[in-house]
Amino acid sequence: MPEPILQIENVSKIYGARRTLFGRTAEVQALNNVSISVQKGESFGLVGESGSGKTTLTRSILHLETPTAGRILFEGQDLALLSSAELRRLRARVQIVFQDPYASLNPRMSVRDIVTEPMLVHNDILNLSRVQRTDRAAELLSLVGLGPQHLSRFPHEFSGGQRQRICIARALASGPELLLLDEPTSALDVSVQAQVLNLLCDLQDRLGLTYFFISHDLAVVRYLCDRVALIYRGELVEEGETDEIFDAPKSDYAKMLIGAMPEVKVRGNAA
């Protein structure tokens, strides 16, 4: 088995009580002793309802939140022990594609500027000239099914599916190894969802990417992911190979979710 690229070890996150106009809120346990290991080159799915802790865990992986307990390691490096400079370099290797392609893109920036911005941020690593950045942006657009002719256009000139392709191109600009996919198809029409999912499968095969796929959509997770974990109220309730979870769920929560899911084809049988 390949070595883990991402290890989440006994992570808990508690948000403290705060004072509001209506009194003092109670503490909130967003995550409780969560442990996940993601192998290089695989697609790992994290499934949960709204409020289950998916976003908190995603922000913790990006080191935008600090766990109350436990640790998160990327290729054996504890994120909490990294200096600011080390963390900045690591972020070139870990990128995210957000849920809403309409809110993810600056409407005042051209596609060229959007896709080349990560190259500028991480230019100490990539060391690309302006011409090389533009050439790289054109290459990335072609990779996601667009083209160099789109470089000078602005986000409002594209459909939702095309905008998400631009977001994927931007996420690939720094040459990452791990992509966090935060419900990247939930804001798209069903037919466009299939196109984007097929694109993600193709990119993973071509570039050797590792995916950490966050979703509430079991059908999408079954199509894309090799392994899956179910999270409920901040706790993992079940984890395993995707086919095993879907064909023989053990927890009542998994049985309930899968029982309510429409039948779909698995990835290998999809057209």
Task: Give a yes or no: residue 31 inside a domain.
Answer: no
Task: Give a yes or no: residue 7 inside a domain.
Answer: no
Dihedral of alpha carbons 33, 7, 100, 186, sign: negative
Which residue's entry shows tokens 């071509």? 206
Count of domains in the chain?
Answer: 1
What CATH code is carried by the domain that includes residue 148? 3.40.50.300
Q: Which domain holds residue 232?
A: 43-65+83-269
Task: Give a yes or no: residue 141 inside a domain.
Answer: yes
Task: Give a yes or no: residue 30 inside a domain.
Answer: no
Give CA separation, 226 vs 46, 237, 256, in Å: 11, 18, 21
Report pLDDT digits (tens) over 182-209: 999 887 888 888 899 999 999 999 999 9
Nearest to 145 by CA among 193, 200, 94, 97: 200
Please tell me the number of Cα atoms within 13 Å of 268 on its side-chain side: 3
Name the token pair of 233. 């109220």
Looking at residue 21, its pLDDT comes to: 66
Task: Give a yes or no: residue 152 inside a domain.
Answer: yes
Task: Give a yes or no: residue 134 inside a domain.
Answer: yes
Looking at residue 254, its pLDDT comes to: 87
Give CA separation, 39 vs 139, 176, 179, 217, 241, in Å: 28, 15, 13, 22, 12
Which residue positions in the chain have pLDDT lower than 70? 1-2, 20-23, 262-271
The 3-state DSSP class for residue 136 equals: helix
Looking at residue 263, its pLDDT comes to: 60
pTM for the model: 0.89
